[in-house]
Amino acid sequence: MIGFLQTRGHGYTVKAVKSAKNAPAVSVLNYDALIRARTLRRGTNIFTDLDRLGFWDLEHASHLYLQMKSAGLRVLNNPATVRSRYPLLRALRAAGLNDFNAYRADETDSIERYPVFLRKIHGHREPLSDLLQTKVELQTAIDSAISGGTPRENLLVIEFAAEPVRPGIYRKLSAFRIGDAIIPHLSVHDTVWLVKYGKKFDNIEDLYQEENSMLRTNPHAEHLKKVFDVAGIEYGRADFGIYRGRIQVYEINTNPHVGTACEHPSATRVANMNLSWENYLAGLRAIDSEEGAPVRLGNGTLQKYRPWKNLLARTRKVP
């Protein structure tokens, strides 16, 4: 049994796993229910979506993690030590694992190089700007975001570190960490620098062949293991690229959407989807724990500070 602990409304990410024949048994529990729970099903439990939690619920999750560990459960992603986007990017730059840096909106005097772009620290929405070439352009973007309702403390400036894999095509690579294993995942291709969902191409067969080779040989595993260790993340997906011959990790998503193959004009790409999916499921099977009698959870050290009526309140759904 593997239990995914998630924020409300984001259980769709592992829907395909729950229905896969060769996957371990999977349950999904949101943090609203977890914080109120008196017992928990025995198995491997994974804390996800930590960047979507408010400070109070994050602290509750941290205490629950300790209770679950004390009860003998296998638990991944300690909420108290996982680095979210801003501290992660700063730590990777300091460790020499990334060549670009990130800054809060009040740290713009420290920016080492341009272009940069503006995004929110929390959530997984698209950036708030295109590439900004100067400090004046950046300040205009910051002022516009604040006047549009985004709090200054939720603004993040990131130095741009990407290049086309070939003229007119950008590529974003990815890999999972599941327990101690680094598992290469699919790449995404697009015609613009912001590679998020990608596009289907029928003229990049050599790139799909290269993707197949990376899925089989896992050439970036050593570097990415160091990245995940710095992040304090034992389950998640790292999104990264190659810039000037060096790996650049852009973020780690602890609740990534996973799924089976879809239609594609390239037979190689479809084969890659199937291979990636099977590798992911094998990673889950490796961390699976036998289901047993439920484990009783205590109230936790924070419970006395939270009136019962507040326990019925729900966390907000963060996109």
User: In this predicted model, what pLDDT tens digit does every residue of 36-95 receive, in sequence order?
Assistant: 788 888 899 999 999 999 888 898 899 899 989 988 999 999 999 999 999 999 999 999
**Cα 45 to Cα 73: distance, rounded to the nearest angstrom:** 8
**For residues 139-151, average pLDDT:** 97
Residue 131, Cα to own-chain centre: how many angstroms? Answer: 23
pLDDT tens digits, one per residue of 218-271: 999 999 999 999 999 999 999 999 999 999 999 999 999 998 888 888 999 999
Read off the pLDDT of residues 80-136 as tens digits, 9 standing for 90 and up.
999 999 999 999 999 999 999 999 999 999 999 999 999 999 888 899 999 999 999
Helices then strands, each counted (H, E), the chain: 9, 14
Cα–chain-centroid distance for residue 215?
19
Residue ranges of domains in the chain, CATH in brackets? 2-82+289-311 (no CATH), 101-159 (3.30.1490), 170-287 (3.30.470)
- Look up tokens 């050599």; give the residue: 206
Residue with tokens 């349950």: 27
- Per-residue pLDDT, 174: 97
Q: What is the pLDDT of residue 309?
A: 45
Quick check: pTM over 0.85?
Answer: yes
User: What's the pLDDT score for residue 302?
Assistant: 53
Instruction: Supply 101's token pair.
Output: 């840096």
Residue 39's pLDDT is what?
Answer: 84
Give the whole-angstrom CA distance, residue 118 versus residue 148. 14
